[in-house]
Amino acid sequence: MSENGDATKTDVIIVGAGPVGLFAVFELGLLGLQSVVIDILDRPGGQCAELYPEKPILDIPSRLKVTGQELTDDLLEQIAPFNPVMHFNQMADSVTKLDNGHWRMTTDMGIVVEAPVICIAGGGGSFTPKKPKIDGIEPFENKSLFYAVRKMEQFKGTNLLIAGGGDSALDWVLALNEHVESMHLVHRRADFRAVQDSVDKMRELEAAGKVTVHVADIPRVNGAGGQIESVTLKSKESGEEYDVSCDTMLAFYGLTMKLGPIADWGINMDSNLITVNTKDFETSEPGIFCIGDMCTYPGKLKLILSGFHESALMSHGAFHYARPDEKLKFQHTTSSSNIQEKLGR
Ligand SMILES: Cc1cc2nc3c(=O)[nH]c(=O)nc-3n(C[C@H](O)[C@H](O)[C@H](O)COP(=O)(O)OP(=O)(O)OC[C@H]3O[C@@H](n4cnc5c(N)ncnc54)[C@H](O)[C@@H]3O)c2cc1C
């Protein structure tokens, strides 16, 4: 991994680890191209993993029924032989063209990657946290109040209050519990929306006195100079207000999707979507392709299977930029011993 200007070089930078970005790794890999994948989320799967991990998808060819998470897990297994480098918790932020015609991408956390090709598979846009409706929280944001865990070390030894009742809140209760000094979990209902296994494990921690659970609203965050000193809770049962002493807060109130920095990359767009040709899904910028939900062309359907088709054609277009002196040899996986060897079959 490279940080602070020391660029990693690869064949294709894929923005987005949703189902389409993941399958693009496979199609590019079949042609011998290496990918680096960047996603703002802390895990792969895009909408499938984030919005409907347990819902059955019924229109993936030959899969009678597969949940969003199962599809993600299977795609990860399928692309594993191509060893993609994946950077999570990273917003693909700025893009510049180099003198050699390649692209340099910098993430908001300082990772720099250079490649002849960028493939945008940004779906509905980068997932952005919804902020809690608490007056006066802005001064604390990104100082002692956070909406995501970008680096776990940051939370070690803290007196942490986690707000929220879904999977993210409970995942981080479980992952951070043994690293913090003290932990409070605040949710406005007694029922948690997270998977039952996480709820059961959280209740075990509660029974062991390792997390204090509050069913309450959060009317105020108290402190000075951006540093939280306590959080005021209003009990749902009694209506009484009380202060919980803590120095750090993590709030998980769901996500919305925003186009984000991609809008500033100088690529032609139509109604917040990137216009592409249908030969290989190249954008108005040579060497930048766009596939999946974020691209638009006449007849576009926002379906996973459409994105898979676009991945295959995009990889052929990408090949000509990444291997300008080589001739692309189209091969079926059933008959290419070279591909079978790469895939370990
Ligand atoms: C409830 C629901 C049910 C659905 N059911 C079906 C179905 O049955 N069948 C079907 O085919 N489709 C279904 N869809 C649609 C399907 O989920 C999408 O078509 C698919 O997820 C698109 O894949 P994608 O990889 O293009 O984008 P996404 O899944 O949106 O992934 C894009 C990724 O890019 C990341 N990203 C974006 N911008 C940046 C940036 N600047 N930097 C870093 N990361 C970035 C995002 O964080 C995200 O992880 C459903 C959608 C929803 C919401």
**Stretch 263-283: mean pLDDT:** 96
Query: What pLDDT was estimated at residue 55?
Result: 85
Q: Ligand 1 center to residue 273 CA distance, Å?
A: 13
Distances (CA, A) of 129 to 40, 109, 149, 254, 318: 11, 17, 12, 6, 33
Q: How confident is the model at residue 345 (pLDDT cuts 50, 70, 90)?
A: confident
Which residue's alpha carbon is nearest to atom 5 within ligand 1?
Answer: 57
Higher pLDDT, 2 or 299: 299
Residue type, position 24, single letter:
A
- Is 317's pLDDT higher than 50? yes
Residue type, position 212, single letter:
T
Query: What pLDDT was estimated at residue 57?
Result: 95
Q: Could you tell me which residues are beta bridge partners of residue 141?
A: 145
Helices 68-79/19-30 angle, 10° precision: 20
Which residue's alpha carbon is nearest to atom 14 within ligand 1?
Answer: 303
Query: What pLDDT was estimated at residue 4?
Result: 47
**Count of beta carbons in the 10 Å neighbourhood of residue 219:** 12
Q: What are phi and psi of 3, to 5 degrees?
A: -130, 160
Ligand 1 pocket, mutate which of 105, 106, 294, 304 (most atoms under 8 A from CB):
304
CA angle 21, 75, 196 (to 5 degrees): 110
Identify the three-state secondary structure at position 183.
Answer: strand
Residue 136: burial class (beta carbons within 10 Å; 0-12, 13-18, 19+): exposed
**Ligand 1 atom at minimal distance to the Cα of residue 60:** 11
**Ligand 1 atom at minimal distance to the Cα of residue 20:** 25
Q: Which residues line ligand 1 (CB under 6 A)?
A: 15-21, 38-41, 46-48, 51-52, 57, 59, 91-92, 121-127, 260-262, 292-293, 302-305, 307
Q: How far apart (Å, rounded) are the C-alpha atoms in residues 71 and 107?
A: 27
**Stretch 169-186: mean pLDDT:** 96
Distances (CA, A) of 75 to 46, 60, 105, 244: 12, 12, 25, 43
Higher pLDDT, 193 or 106: 106
- Is 2's pLDDT higher than 60? no
Please state, rounded to an integer, the average pLDDT across all residues of the chain: 94
* Concatenated DSSP letters of 26-75: HHHHHTT--EEEE-SSSSS-HHHHHT-TTSEE--BTTBS-EEHHHHHHHH
Q: How far apart (Å, rounded) are the C-alpha atoms in residues 23 and 14?
A: 11
Query: What pLDDT was estimated at residue 1?
Result: 41
Q: Ligand 1 center to residue 224 CA distance, Å?
A: 39
Q: What are phi and psi of 167, to 5 degrees?
A: -60, -45
**Ligand 1 atom at minimal distance to the Cα of residue 261:** 41
pLDDT more than 70, % of the chain? 99
Helices 19-30/304-322 angle, 10° precision: 40
Query: What pLDDT was estimated at residue 52?
Result: 85
Q: Torsion angle of alpha carbons 192, 198, 202, 204, nearest 10°?
A: 120
Ligand 1 pocket, mutate which of 47, 269, 296, 308 (most atoms under 8 A from CB):
47
